[in-house]
Structure 1
């Protein structure tokens, strides 16, 4: 990313917009793709939240004197992570990465589901909720095989929208895309990461849910 400027994306990374969809009880459950942008070799995505051409940068960061100082840590995910063990699944939870996508609240909540993961329905719901966590705050492991379970995601960037609450969410970076700081240092490469798009996160470049408070 550029210093106090946009995210510079290279390498023909697909860009889409997806909406979070609720179930019939009002809980976040699924994703719906609503737009796929023309594929480009390189593009710049707004990081300050002020662009009139979102998700793309229009230079607003310079006009508003955006402070993009990065505070995100370089620790590996498995450091300072809470572990919640159930009978069939173990949940790893790194709370400060939360982007408030709310998939983990359905069907009694992720912790309750993990606690009764010897029940096939609870197990499947727990895995589904973790797979839908865009920030990668939640990671699930199968106790028997000791295998970390991860969704297969297209190497792409998704602009997250949540119409029921008129929320314009973060940028969902998927499929193991490298993220380089303004100083040229690489953050841990992960399958699921969310980057701040509103400019207000205290955990830049990562989302901390500040867009919910706008």
Structure 2
């Protein structure tokens, strides 16, 4: 296992090891789509703990406020390809596991990821389809060429604390670069280039985000 890990404590925080950089990114509307803009940078270190319950007054770090937090991990442990639906296109195909963080990067000026994949014989729409998929922080969408090669960004390990001012809420932790996430019982979830972890405490698919931070109107104290 890589020395860079995120270990989940039972009913407690995420313990991050391996000097993984962490920074704030802001979901920002542009036209009919979205981009991520840089926010503040946070102190990392060899080991640090991140809030998972949504109650910390020292976000994104844990301050011990989890108390009676029910952090039971309920997410399926099936592999990504065992959970997906296939969207077939002219030049590329896309797999969708429906594990959505409601970050909305799958929507572009030119259409949704699903629409664009089906029109991927147009080179410009193909490029937009790929962007719509790979910019999904949750890793819900993954595109492949017709030879079966996965098309993915080459991310270095990092953690992004997402903020969503358009919705007036704070978002999940975006985990990039194939960082192992280890459950409280020692299970290593499938290692993936992109996943989002719940930090509002409300997800019904813990440890992963399911978009309930919007319904819960979660704010971490870092945004107005």
Q: Settle same-fold status: TM greater than 0.5.
A: yes
Q: 1:13-70: per-residue Cα shift (whole Å, max 9, x none)?
A: 1111101121134x32x111211223311111000001111111111101xx100000
- Stretches of structure 1 that go unaligned for 5 or more consecutive residues are none
Matches within 5 A, 1:106-185: 106=108, 107-143=110-146, 145-185=147-187
- Give the Cα–Cα distance (whole angstroms) in 2 for the partners of residues 199 and 131 of structure 1: 26
Equivalent residue number for residue 35 of structure 1: 40
Q: Does 1:19 align with 2:26?
A: yes
Q: CA deviation at 1:205?
A: 0.3
Q: Does 1:70 align with 2:77?
A: no
4+ runs of 1 displaced by more than 4 Å?
Answer: none
Q: Match of 1:61, SS? A: coil
Q: Match of 2:80, SS? A: coil
Q: CA deviation at 1:146?
A: 2.1
Give the aligned length.
208
Aligned with 1:83 (options 64, 67, 86): 86
Aligned with 1:210 (options 208, 212, 222): 212
Equivalent residue number for residue 201 of structure 1: 203
Q: CA deviation at 1:80?
A: 2.5
Task: Give 1 or 2: higher helix fraction.
Answer: 1
Q: CA deviation at 1:154?
A: 2.2
Q: 1:116-136: per-residue Cα shift (whole Å, max 9, x none)?
A: 001011101011111110000
- TM-score computed with the length of structure 1 as normaliser: 0.94
- TM-score computed with the length of structure 2 as normaliser: 0.90
Q: Match of 1:164, SS? A: coil
- Give the Cα–Cα distance (whole angstroms) in 1 for the partners of residues 152 and 119 of structure 2: 20
